Amino acid sequence: MADCIFCKIAAGEVNAKVVYEDADTLAFLDLNPQAPTHALVIPRRHIPSLTAAEDTDAELLGKLQLAAARTAKVLKAESAFRLVTNNGKAAGQSVDHLHYHLLAGRKLLWPPG
């Protein structure tokens, strides 16, 4: 999608610190980290949010979960991390390209704020 910052990162048109990638997904460090380890895991293909995903996206969503687990291993965070998506503006979504936040490296409170 032309105006999407995460599509541009996936296309290599905008720089990001990529920590994991495969044919369908990409993970890179968040520009404004909320924990010592904070990566964003995205599908390369533009899907606006989790609720915008369709039945035909099922395989890609599975790959995204696996990519998150692999990213956690790359970042040596596999023993303790949080994976979260903000779905909708009121939930804090500011970039309309599906992404999971992978947070680790500090005590993660529950319930989250």
Catalytic residues: 99
Q: How far is the CB of 52 from Zn ion (least distance, A)?
A: 11
Query: Which of 10, 20, 28, 72 is in the footprint of ligand 5GP by CB under 6 A?
Result: 28
Rounded to an integer, what distance in angstroms lies between the CA atom of residue 81 and that of residue 63?
18
Residue 28 burial (C-beta neighbours within 10 Å; 0-12, 13-18, 19+) = buried
Which residues, 6+ apart, have CB-to-CB distance to 110 below 8 Å? Answer: none
Query: Which of 24, 29, 45, 46 is in the footprint of Zn ion by CB under 5 A?
Result: 46
Give the per-residue contact string, 79-108, with ligand 5GP (x = CB under 6 A; - = no). -------x-----xxxx-------------
Q: How many CB atoms lie within 10 A of CB 1?
A: 13
The one of ligand 5GP, Zn ion, none whose footprint includes residue 28, by CB under 5 to 8 A per kind, is ligand 5GP
Q: How far is the CB of 94 from ligand 5GP (least distance, A)?
A: 4
| 29-48 binders of ligand 5GP (CB under 6 A) | 29-32, 40
Q: How many CB atoms lie within 10 A of CB 3?
A: 7
